[in-house]
Amino acid sequence: MFIITMIFLVGLIFSVQQLLFQYSALDLSAPFRENDIYLLENLKDVVNATIKGEQECSKFSEKMEEFRSYLKEGVPRGGYSVSLNYRLNCANWENSPPNAAPLNLTIRIVGKGSDTSSVSSFYHL
């Protein structure tokens, strides 16, 4: 009877533990939500990867408009307000530094007592 009781108790403890694991998780994203510089750098990385991966300027322009509308409407408000403005010159699409960049990007992030902005230039290389 002792062995059966121990097997039952171990099974019961294991079941309760599995139920509690569903309600607890380590939140690794907390530093990224609380520091807007991570969000700023991530947005710049997304734009840089997109411009380098696209072959045609017109298709890149469509993707940038889609990205801008996603930031305005599709992103749930998590304490930040993200503003993305860009100037795209397709005549400079094949340029490389030090010539004029095809994309000039301005990102402004406002939230939790901070106001961070960045002005960057991107090349399609």
Q: Which of 50-64, 86-100, 107-121 shows the lowest per-residue confidence on average (mean pLDDT)?
A: 107-121
- 3-state secondary structure (DSSP) of residue 5: helix
Peptide bond between residue 31 and the one before it cis (omega within 30 degrees of 0): no
CB 52 within 8 A of CB 124: yes
**DSSP per position, 28-97:** TTHHHHH-HHHHHHHHHHHHHHHHHH-S-HHHHHHHHHHHHHIIIIIS--SS-EEEEEEEE-GGGTT--T
pLDDT digit string, tens, across residues 28-86: 555 555 677 888 888 899 899 999 888 899 999 999 998 888 887 766 566 677 888 99
User: Residue 79: its pLDDT value, please?
Assistant: 67
